[in-house]
């Protein structure tokens, strides 16, 4: 593999946007810091690493691989000792007959190639990869082969707190100390990264650990197959599950304390083809946001929602898919309504957070305590406000509507895509239109969008004024809008996005909308009537957040449905 001509290399790099001063800085860094050219170029952050390797690959006459797009099997990783991979900074990615393919930022390093051949007895083929991605892959794939003492786990940070309520997980025998440290490391990673869920997934040749961060699953490491049963058993013991039952799904809660901070997890074990998969949902009460002004509501939409929940009676529904933040919105509503003068009772499956002053009833389907049964009992408990975790069937819907019609405020959730579809769904369940228009006061549909990373956000040149006009902006507003997008940095793990924000579609049941529901108008016509009555759709709410630079255009469009066949307005979608 011949080295590229210096002039050709300089010309290509300058075409990418590197100045002569940048190239001089790169040369100096290579000589003084003894780092590779690719490392020095990526450190300038002038070009996306993916684009950089795509350009450099042909110059070096070397194939290019994007490690972020690949999932390397553990049996390939095991072919190369960790020390060798870390010393020369490469990742084995595949094997073909007696050839080992390795990804590296220095594909022409003859010392590395000789060392790999000597240790593995394979012929070596190199492919070019981003240095930053190689660093991430080394941490990801070799984490489970390291000495467990290398894991940055503060054992003293795990404690039992109240012995009656918090699980003591720091005093295991030395026989399973490695498994214990790995389990603690996974739990700490969940808390430190702000993840909402942990996925422990067994496969044929390995076990994968993923965290759901800002709505997306991110793989943090792989576990050797030999550790599978021990790690699964460890988590099941911590969650007080039956470790001998591996054929049926199990649910339970786990309470621990990390660094003096009490944390609860909802744990589910489900049998798969290669063993039990465990998913742990973190229930961190300290992260529960009950201030309604910080939930992402537009001021006018927040006013509508607050006015609706403060009525003496009626039904307010929050809708959206799983993981859209419905529970947080309901808890914030109850926190605002929580007064000494009112009796608030909830039926939840399960009770995720306990709120002082509110009577919370956990649903127990195994003994017949479902939402409908709990609702009937609530009506004999002299309630002022009732919260039902979810309306799943006609029986629950009819009892909730009856409660709303007899002087109670009822809050609940439903799984629908939009606020107008919620009305259609209830009618399709069998709810009588005259009861629905009398009881229902407000419907809030919501989604969570990934926010642009504040550290690396920059104007998005790929979005033109024409694009915005096609999406519904008026020419004047489109010309003033400044679409933004994260470019990727260490803070956001090079994703360009960090954190999430809610968008809302608030439908208040005014006279025109009530008449349309009573007349059973078709869903699309109902949506038009709702918009004329002042409802802003989820797509419009997302575009508003985009126009403020909070989210990217790709996120706004990808996370919401287009308002197809809806008449254009003379006003902007904001």
Query: Do 128 and 56 contact (CB within 8 A), yes or no?
Result: yes
Query: Do 218 and 495 contact (CB within 8 A), yes or no?
Result: no
pLDDT for the residue numbered 5: 56
pLDDT for the residue numbered 288: 67
Give CA angle at 47 (65, 93), nearest 5°: 15
Strands 440-452 and 314-319, bridge-based pairing: parallel
Is the backbone of residue 232 left (phi > 0), alpha (psi -120 to 50) or beta? alpha
From 435, 385, 432, 389, select the one nearest 410 (Cα to Cα). Answer: 385
Q: Which pTM value belongs to this model?
A: 0.67
CA torsion sign for 515, 520, 525, 526 is: positive
How far apart are the C-alpha atoms of 541 and 562, rounded to whole Å?
A: 12
pLDDT for the residue numbered 493: 74
What is the CATH number assigned to the segment(s) 6-141?
3.30.300.160
Residues with Cβ within 8 Å of residue 300, at least 6 apart in sequence: none
- Domain residue ranges of the chain, discontinuous segments joined by +: 6-141, 144-286, 292-558
The CATH class given to the 144-286 domain equals: alpha beta
Give buried/exposed letters for 203-231 (b at 16+ CB in 10 A, else e). Answer: beebbbbbbbbbeeeeebbbbbbebbbbb
How far apart are the C-alpha atoms of 365 and 416, rounded to whole Å?
A: 23
pLDDT for the residue numbered 154: 43
Domains 6-141 and 144-286 share a fold: no
Name the superfamily (CATH) of residues 292-558: P-loop containing nucleotide triphosphate hydrolases (3.40.50.300)
Taking the chain (574 residues) in runs of 10, the rounded mean pLDDT of each run is 61 82 84 83 83 86 87 83 89 88 91 91 91 85 50 43 40 56 85 88 90 87 85 91 91 79 87 94 72 83 94 94 87 90 91 86 88 91 93 92 94 92 93 94 94 90 87 82 85 84 94 93 91 92 90 91 59 48
From 71, 67, 72, 47, select the one nearest 131 (Cα to Cα). Answer: 67
């Amino acid at each position: 593999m011949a080295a590229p001509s210096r002039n050709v290399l300089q010309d290509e790099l300058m075409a990418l946007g590197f100045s002569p001063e940048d190239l001089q800085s790169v040369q100096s860094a290579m000589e003084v810091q003894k780092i590779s050219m690719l490392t020095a170029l990526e450190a300038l952050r002038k070009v996306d690493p993916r684009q950089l390797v795509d350009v450099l690959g042909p110059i070096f006459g070397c194939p290019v691989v994007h490690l972020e797009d690949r999932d390397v099997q553990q049996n390939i990783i095991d072919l190369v000792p960790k020390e060798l991979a870390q010393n020369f900074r490469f990742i084995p990615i595949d094997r073909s007959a007696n050839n080992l393919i390795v990804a590296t930022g220095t594909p022409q390093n003859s010392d590395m190639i000789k060392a790999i051949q000597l240790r593995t007895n394979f012929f070596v083929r190199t492919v070019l990869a981003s240095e930053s991605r190689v660093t991430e892959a080394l941490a990801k794939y070799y984490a489970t082969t390291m000495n467990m003492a290398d894991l940055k786990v503060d054992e003293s940070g795990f404690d039992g707190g109240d012995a009656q309520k918090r699980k003591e997980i720091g005093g295991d025998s030395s026989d399973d100390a490695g498994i214990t440290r790995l389990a603690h490391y996974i739990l700490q990673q969940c808390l430190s990264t702000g993840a909402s869920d942990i996925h422990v997934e067994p496969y044929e040749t390995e076990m994968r650990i993923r965290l759901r961060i800002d709505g997306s699953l991110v793989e943090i490491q792989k576990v050797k197959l030999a550790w599978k049963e021990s790690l699964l058993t460890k988590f099941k013991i911590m969650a007080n599950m039956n470790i001998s039952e591996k054929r049926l799904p199990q649910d339970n809660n786990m309470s621990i304390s990390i660094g003096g901070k009490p944390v609860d997890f909802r744990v589910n074990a489900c049998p798969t083809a290669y063993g039990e998969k465990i998913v742990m949902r973190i229930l961190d009460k300290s992260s529960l946001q009950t201030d309604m002004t910080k939930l992402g509501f537009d001021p006018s939409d927040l006013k509508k929602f607050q006015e609706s929940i403060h009525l003496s009676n009626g039904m307010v529904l929050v809708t959206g898919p799983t993981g859209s933040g419905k529970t947080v919105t309901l808890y914030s509503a109850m926190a605002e309504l929580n007064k000494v003068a009112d009796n608030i009772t909830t039926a939840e499956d399960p009770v995720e957070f306990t709120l002082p002053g509110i009577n919370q009833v956990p649903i127990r389907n195994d003994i017949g305590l479902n939402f409908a049964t709990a609702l009937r009992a609530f009506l004999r408990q002299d309630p002022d406000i009732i919260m039902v975790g979810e309306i799943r069937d006609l029986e629950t819907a009819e009892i909730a509507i009856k409660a709303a019609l007899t002087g109670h405020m009822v809050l609940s959730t439903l799984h629908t895509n939009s606020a107008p579809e919620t009305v259609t769904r209830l009618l399709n369940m069998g709810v009588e239109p005259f009861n629905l228009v009398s009881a229902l006061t407000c419907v809030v549909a919501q989604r969570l969008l990934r926010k642009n990373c504040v550290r690396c956000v920059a104007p998005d040149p790929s979005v033109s004024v024409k694009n915005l006009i096609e999406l519904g902006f008026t020419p004047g507003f489109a010309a003033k809008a400044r679409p933004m997008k994260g470019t990727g940095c260490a803070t956001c793990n090079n994703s360009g996005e960090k954190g999430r924000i809610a968008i809302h579609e608030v439908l208040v049941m005014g006279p025109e909308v009530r008449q349309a529901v009573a007349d059973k108008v078709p869903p699309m016509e109902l949506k038009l009537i709702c918009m004329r009555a002042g409802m802003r759709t989820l797509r419009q709410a997302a575009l508003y957040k985009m126009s403020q630079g909070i989210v990217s255009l790709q996120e706004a469009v990808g996370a919401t449905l287009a308002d197809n066949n809806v008449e254009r307005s003379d006003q902007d979608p904001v």
